[in-house]
Amino acid sequence: MRALHFIALFALILVSGCASTPKSSSYLAPTMGVYLLDSGDQVRLTVYGEEELSDEFRVDDSGQLSLPLVGSVHVRGLSTKQAADKIVGLLAAGFIRDPDVAVEVVQYRPFYIQGAVSASGQYPYVPGMTVRGAVSTAGGYEPTANESYAILYRRTGEEIAKGKVALDFPVQPGDTVVIAERWL
């Protein structure tokens, strides 16, 4: 009888070792990659040694920065490094000898959220934001909201892409997040 209890206990230990371990609750969220400038971004331009040229500028509707000495510079679709390199080239072409320029984003263009949230509208983008964070920024879900996914609209080049995304999907500046209503 004792041997039977021992065998049953041993079998139970073996079977419990076969049980699946729960999946980790942490995961890696995809990152945005290199940020590309677009209309509505506010940047700080620093020209080292030239304080009168250093200031904050907003990318206008046509994707241009209006800068002293060089005038309008098209920066839409460029990274901050590419924009700095372009400005260096323009300043070096007759204005400043060997310019050293830095461009950094001071304020990202906003994102938009609409649908079944408490306060639809335009909100400032915060790096690392997800759909879940965007919903929180808009005051949370309405009682009729479908809380399992969102529809996201994102400009890619000259086109607008639309997709159904999970709540932990990263939001980028300029995105429009739509929270649908659930149907009972």
In whole angstroms, what is the distance from residue 104 CA to residue 83 CA?
10
Q: What is the mean pLDDT of residues 136-145?
A: 93
Domain housing 70: 42-107
Question: So what's the pLDDT on residue 184?
Answer: 53
Q: Mean pLDDT in the chain? A: 83
pTM beyond 0.75:
no
Is the model's pLDDT at 2 over the cut of 70? no
Question: So what's the pLDDT on residue 55?
Answer: 94
Counted domains in the chain: 2
In whole angstroms, what is the distance from residue 29 CA to residue 12 CA?
39
In whole angstroms, what is the distance from residue 51 CA to residue 30 CA?
38
Q: Quick check: 130 and 150 in contact, CB under 8 A?
A: no
Residues 50 and 91 grouped into a single domain: yes
Per-residue pLDDT tens over the stretch 146-174: 999 999 999 877 788 999 999 999 999 99
Strands 121-123, 111-115: parallel, antiparallel or unpaired by DSSP?
antiparallel
The values of phi and psi at residue 21, to 5°, are -85, 145
Residues 152 and 131 grouped into a single domain: yes
Q: How many CB atoms lie within 10 A of CB 125?
A: 21
Residue 17 in any domain: the answer is no
Residues 83 and 140 grouped into a single domain: no
Residues 98 and 142 grouped into a single domain: no
Cα dihedral value 99, 79, 58, 49, nearest 10: -20
- Domain boundary, last residue among 87, 107, 127: 107
User: Which two structure tokens, joined as six digits, stand for 86?
Assistant: 């372009």
Per-residue pLDDT tens over the stretch 67-123: 988 899 999 989 999 999 999 999 999 888 899 999 999 999 999 999 999 999 999
In whole angstroms, what is the distance from residue 184 CA to residue 164 CA?
20
